[in-house]
């Protein structure tokens, strides 16, 4: 069972209510909407507080809608390809050298 918050972590207001609402996020320039998220909302400052289960659901929707690979992954794959190619080139050079 979910334990309600006593006060808002931002403004310390006690006006916090459990709500189900659509949350919108901007992820890499794309608008992502997560429908009907169970969360607590401060009526004073508007802060949204989610629990672990809601965060897991948000992550699944946000990262599931963005199927493009991240620049870090692309960079990593390119580095791996270049290392492999350089390794083959180094192996070929070593096998061509005559023993002293």
Judged by DSSP in three states, 20 sits in: strand
Are residues 8 and 54 located together in one domain of the fold? yes
Number of domains in the chain: 2
Are residues 52 and 23 located together in one domain of the fold? yes
Q: CATH code at 20?
A: 3.10.20.860
Cα–Cα separations (whole angstroms), residue 4 to 49, 50, 88: 10, 11, 61
Are residues 63 and 37 located together in one domain of the fold? yes
Q: Half-sphere exposure of 4 toward its Cβ, with a 13 Å CA cutoff?
A: 10
Residue 79, domain extent: 69-100
Q: Do 42 and 13 contact (CB within 8 A), yes or no?
A: yes
Are residues 16 and 57 located together in one domain of the fold? yes
Are residues 20 and 59 located together in one domain of the fold? yes
Q: What is the pLDDT of residues 23-66, one digit of tens each?
A: 988 887 888 888 999 999 999 999 999 998 898 888 888 877 55
Q: What is the pLDDT of residues 70-98, one digit of tens each?
A: 554 445 666 666 666 666 666 566 666 65
R_g of the chain computed on alpha carbons: 25
């Amino acid at each position: 069972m979910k334990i309600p918050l006593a006060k808002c972590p931002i403004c310390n207001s006690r006006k916090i209510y459990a709500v189900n609402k659509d949350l919108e996020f901007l992820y890499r320039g794309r608008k992502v909407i997560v429908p009907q998220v169970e969360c607590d909302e401060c009526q004073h400052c508007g802060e949204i507080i989610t629990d672990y289960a809601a965060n897991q659901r948000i992550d699944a929707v946000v990262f599931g809608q963005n199927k493009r690979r991240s620049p870090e992954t692309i960079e990593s794959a390119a580095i791996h390809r270049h290392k492999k190619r350089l390794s083959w080139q180094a192996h070929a050079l070593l096998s061509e050298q005559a023993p002293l």
